[in-house]
Amino acid sequence: MAQSLFNIIVFPGFLFLCLAGVCAEYFDRIFHARMQNRKGPPWFQPVADFIKLSAKEDIIPEEADSFMFRAMPVVAVAATVTSFLYIPLWGSQALFSFEGDVIVVLYLLTIPTMTFFLAGWYSTSLYASVGAVRTITQLFAYEVPLFMAVLAPALLADSWSLSGIAAYYRAHPLYWVFNLPGLAVSLVILLGKLEKVPFDIPEAETEIVGGVFTEYAGRYLAFFRMTIDIEMVVASSLVAAVFLPFGLGFGSVVGFILYLLKVTAVIAAICLLRTIFARLRIDQMVDFCWKYIAPAALLQLLVNIVLKGVLSQ
Amino acid sequence: MSRVTIPLGPQHPALKEPANFSITVAGEKILSTSSRLGYNHRGMEKACEERTYIQDMYLLERICGICSHSHSTAFVQTVEEIAGLDVPRRALYIRTLIGELERIHSHLLWLGVAGHEIGFDTLLMYSWRDREVVMDLLALLCGNRVNYGINTIGGVRRDITAEQIAGALRDMDILEERTRYYIDIATSEPSFIARLAGVGYISREDAVRLQAVGPTGRGSNVAIDIRATDPYAAYGEVDFKVITDSHCDVYGRAVVRLLELMESYRIVRQVLKEMPDGPVTVKAPRKIPAGEAVSRVEAPRGEDVHYVKGNGSDKPERVRVRASTMANIQAVNKMMENNNLADVPIIIAAIDPCFSCTDRCVRVIGGKREDLGWRDLRRHGISWYRKHWGIDFGELNRKLHSLRGER
Amino acid sequence: MKIPGKMAKEVLRHSLKPPATLNYPYVKPEMPDNFRGKIVFDPVRCIGCRMCVKDCPALAIEIAAVGDKKFEARFYLDRCIYCAQCVDSCPKDALLNTKEYELAQIDRQNHRITFHAHADGVVVDPAP
């Protein structure tokens, strides 16, 4: 019991995730800055931002639904942290696992996006409402390809549990190479999930001010920003666990370093993608997802179905 | 689908200056728009009447931070015409040089702003970094990075040395190479093209009808460039092309600006190489004779028109300015038809707006223009605000004075 | 020819280079020699013609006579627009612009500079 509580709250649960989120945000920002030939923020900037925001006044608009407005940031953080517990980080065993946790993790990762929608919707301001509608439109566009892309490796591994998938690829060390198209698909989708350029349409600053977060200030905004940071780590870990399951059998120290490297690589890839593209329009985004990303994910699924037949013989 | 009216401005991240656009949308589609200006009226034309010609030059230079040289050139040209001054050729060449450097810095700035409006911040960072080259060159030639203060009535204030010419030619090589890279990006990066192509369409006929000037008009194939159609300074003696584009959309305007940069480098090189010798200024009288003149200058954003009427004293009787945004702003509402809400910032940015340059105030009662003196105008403003909004400026002024210390 | 991610090469190349920005308060950019910065006044040269006062667009200069052919200048640097027209207008080169550009002050009073005329040279007194 005490062990589980420690795992959930301290390591690798909430506190570890907060730290990892801060580091991820810092890395993302400094790498982004350096690619743009800027200096970038000092190392403590994400923490300083969090402290500054927390110290500010919490403003809840009169028109907004006060309960939902305050509840959404907390729900978002809770959902993201929970999903992390089912992802194997080093080795092939997650902290908790059961048959079918892939679906649960994907579902839990959808919740932050849903909370963004609800937060925007219950803010009732024009910009926030437009942002909320865009969030949900975008969700429909990328969620299906993401499911297909993540379920393809699971299909090959014949397991609906992330730990089971990891165990399968540990047993067959080179099979992850077949999932590379899925990796590309999921990297693109992560941009949408984390609302980064070119898919930062719901909070496009120059178009709709701050999108769903327009009305948010102070602590609640700090919580939302933390959610996005944590989501970045969780989603990168998911991608690393599903698509990059190599080097799992070298003990926990090597495994942990390798895990950090994988997550860093995924975040670096996301950062590179967000640096070199312009923001798409919502209709272009939906078109792009259904025209290119969904068929690519479908292809991955087909490849894995065929492979499964071939390999099982 | 329900209709919603979204206010864009007067305070909005996409607008660098206050203006208001009310956009009625159904979903993301724009149904109708209306624009409203007047948040930043500064009373400059009136202020000009209270100052001497030399003081006006610096005041009018500050109409716009980006096209400051164009405004001061337009003003000194009218004054020189009234006074009948024969400006030395070297001075005209230097004016041309600074005018083109200003265009380079303005177009590079625009490219960055356009990148920012479509979320392409990397382009913003790179183009503004490269813009520093021309900014530093301007500081070297004129003494400051913005508001160059190079013009004076009867010539220019500073001469250019052989050393500076060599440095400027070197800088042109750097900038030309970078501009080639941006043209390459603009023509091959799909996300950039996707956001610009087909957005903010305005046909050639509409562009002419709504008086689009400068790159906005040339992006719709209206081949009007004051540098070529009504040459001033030394533009009659240099060889350059008027860039037009038949895309008629934001992409066309971007292409026009990028290709104009290449033309500007050509002009700068020619001007530097063929710089004639001689004095840079003639003695100008302090009292300008009675008379009136109009002058047109091609600012980076389009045509600037200045009208000056002198009455024989050292202060002008009337100064009238038409900045290029005033001409282009009419076209914006037309451009926004059949577009998405997401395209609004880039459509507004595509005319390179400068709302403070545009805001004017004329009081017309029953078709007759009423002349108000500076004091009357102030008094009218104070009483209007007290009547309509209940604002007591006397109280505010006292507070301000006590905060600032006496003046 | 459309190439997605055309800038990738450029940004990756720059990620290893030092940033283009200056670390400002610690590294200061050098301005060119004829930079129009803060104005200084030489009371010895001034003949009191007040051309600078007449031409100043911002009404930022006051010249006062303090004795026989002795003048002192008062500058309102908060009003000054740094056009350096006074430098051009002065027939005796009593006004010069410097390269100094860090002119921000917390107190407005610090912007009022009086150049007192002294027999043994120039003393700058920032107090009003």
pLDDT of residue A305: 86
DSSP A68-93: HHHHHHHHHHHHHHHHHTTS--SSS-
User: pLDDT band for position C122 (50/70/90)?
Assistant: low
Enumerate the residues of chain B whose CB falls inside 8 A of the CB of residue A208. Answer: 341
Mean pLDDT computed over A148-173:
83
Which amino acid would we find at residue B397? Answer: N
Residue at token pair 């971007």: B254
Under an 8 A CB cutoff, do A39 and C8 touch? no
Nearest to B208 by CA among B200, B199, B198, B218: B218
3-class state of residue B296 by DSSP: strand
Task: Give percent above pLDDT 90 in chain B.
Answer: 18
Under an 8 A CB cutoff, do B191 and C1 touch? no
Closest Cα of chain C to B126: distance in Å? 10
Query: What is the per-residue pLDDT across A13-67, written as a single tens digit (0 to 9) for each?
Result: 788 888 889 999 999 999 999 998 888 899 999 999 999 999 988 888 888 888 8
Contact in structure between B304 and B324 (CB atoms under 8 Å):
yes
| Candidate from C35, C81, C109 with C-beta closest to B58 | C81
Query: What is the per-residue pLDDT across C24-43, written as a single tens digit (0 to 9) for each?
Result: 888 888 888 888 888 888 88
Interface confidence, given as ipTM, is 0.86
pLDDT of residue A269: 92
Enumerate the residues of chain B whose CB falls inside 8 A of the CB of residue A129. Answer: 4
Query: What is the per-residue pLDDT across B143-161, written as a single tens digit (0 to 9) for each?
Result: 888 888 888 988 898 888 8
Q: Which residues, in sequence order, are CB contacts of B404 under 8 Å at separation 6+?
A: C108
Under an 8 A CB cutoff, do C15 and A39 touch? no
Mean pLDDT computed over A147-164:
85
With a cut of 90, say whether residue A2 has pLDDT above it: no
Give dist(CA B343, CA B364) in Å, integer.
36
With a cut of 60, say whether residue C128 has pLDDT above it: no
| Candidate from B51, B185, B404 with C-beta closest to C57 | B51
pLDDT of residue A23: 92
pLDDT of residue A27: 92
Among all residues of chain A, which has the CA nearest to that of C18? A37
Closest Cα of chain C to A32: distance in Å? 8
Nearest to B250 by CA among B170, B344, B318: B344
Among all residues of chain A, which has the CA nearest to that of C15? A35
Q: Please count the residues of chain B.
A: 407
With a cut of 70, say whether residue C121 has pLDDT above it: no
| Neighbour subunits, C (≥3 Cβ pairs < 8 A) | A, B
| Neighbour subunits, B (≥3 Cβ pairs < 8 A) | A, C
Per-residue 3-state assignment (H helix, E strand, C coil) for chain C = CCCCCCCHHHHHHHHCCCCCCCCCCCCCCCCCCCCCCCEEECCCCCCCCCHHHHHCCCCCEEEEEEECCEEEEEEECCCCCCCCHHHHHCCCCCEEECCCCCCCCCCHHHHEEEEEEECCEEEEECCC
Nearest-10 crossing angle of helices A162-171, A101-123: 130
Under an 8 A CB cutoff, do B144 and C36 touch? yes
Under an 8 A CB cutoff, do B28 and A283 touch? yes
Enumerate the residues of chain A whose CB falls inside 8 A of the CB of residue C11. Answer: 35-36, 272, 275-276
- B44-358: which CATH architecture? Orthogonal Bundle (1.10)
C100 touches chain B (CB under 8 A): no
pLDDT of residue B407: 46
pLDDT of residue B362: 52
pLDDT of residue A52: 92
Enumerate the residues of chain B whose CB falls inside 8 A of the CB of residue A201. Answer: 342
Q: Using CB atoms and an 8 Å cut-off, which of residues 17-76 of chain A contact chain C?
A: 31, 33-40
User: pLDDT band for position B373 (50/70/90)?
Assistant: low
Give dist(CA A220, CA A116) in Å, integer.
12
Q: Which helix (H) or strand (E) holds B211?
A: none
Task: Give percent above pLDDT 70 in chain B.
Answer: 94
Query: What is the per-residue pLDDT across B30-77, written as a single tens digit (0 to 9) for each?
Result: 888 888 777 777 778 888 888 889 888 998 888 888 888 999 999 999
Nearest to A84 by CA among A72, A74, A94: A94
Mutation for testing the B interface, residue in C6, C59, C103, C107 having most B CBs under 10 Å: C6
Query: What is the per-residue pLDDT across B270-312, written as a single tens digit (0 to 9) for each?
Result: 999 888 888 888 888 888 888 888 898 998 988 888 888 888 8
- C31-125: which CATH architecture? 2-Layer Sandwich (3.30)
pLDDT of residue B360: 60
Query: What is the per-residue pLDDT across C76-88, written as a single tens digit (0 to 9) for each?
Result: 888 888 888 888 8
Q: Which helix (H) or strand (E) holds A98?
A: none
Give dist(CA B385, CA B165) in Å, integer.
54
B147 touches chain C (CB under 8 A): yes
Enumerate the residues of chain C whose CB falls inside 8 A of the CB of residue A35. Answer: 11-12, 14-15
C99 touches chain B (CB under 8 A): no
State how far Cα B344 lies from the chain centre.
21
pLDDT of residue A92: 67
With a cut of 70, say whether residue A297 has pLDDT above it: yes
Under an 8 A CB cutoff, do B181 and C4 touch? no
A101, B71, B104, B153, B162 from B324: Cα distances, Å: 62, 10, 17, 23, 34
Q: Which helix (H) or strand (E) holds A36?
A: none
Domain ranges of chain A: 55-312
Among the listed ranges A79-83, A93-97, B112-116, B261-265, which one has the minimum average pLDDT value? Answer: A93-97
Question: Of residues B198 and B401, which shows the higher confidence score?
Answer: B198
Enumerate the residues of chain B whose CB falls inside 8 A of the CB of residue A275. Answer: 122
Enumerate the residues of chain A whose CB falls inside 8 A of the CB of residue B342. Answer: 201, 204, 207, 281-282
State how far Cα A309 lies from the chain centre.
32
Query: What is the per-residue pLDDT across B204-215, written as a single tens digit (0 to 9) for each?
Result: 888 888 888 889
Among all residues of chain B, which has the CA nearest to that of C2? B188
Under an 8 A CB cutoff, do C35 and B157 touch? no
Residue at token pair 């600012």: B299
Q: Which residues, in sequence order, are CB contacts of A284 under 8 Å at separation 6+?
A: B194, B195
Contact in structure between A97 and A162 (CB atoms under 8 Å):
yes
Nearest-10 crossing angle of helices A126-157, A218-243: 20
What average pLDDT does chain A have? 86
Under an 8 A CB cutoff, do C85 and B54 touch? yes
Mean pLDDT computed over B381-394:
79
Query: What is the per-residue pLDDT across A184-236, written as a single tens digit (0 to 9) for each?
Result: 888 999 888 888 888 888 888 777 887 888 888 888 889 888 888 999 999 99
Contact in structure between A176 and A254 (CB atoms under 8 Å):
no
User: pLDDT band for position B406 (50/70/90)?
Assistant: low
Tokens of A208: 């709709």
pLDDT of residue B259: 92
Task: Give percent above pLDDT 90 in chain A.
Answer: 11
Contact in structure between A230 and A80 (CB atoms under 8 Å):
yes
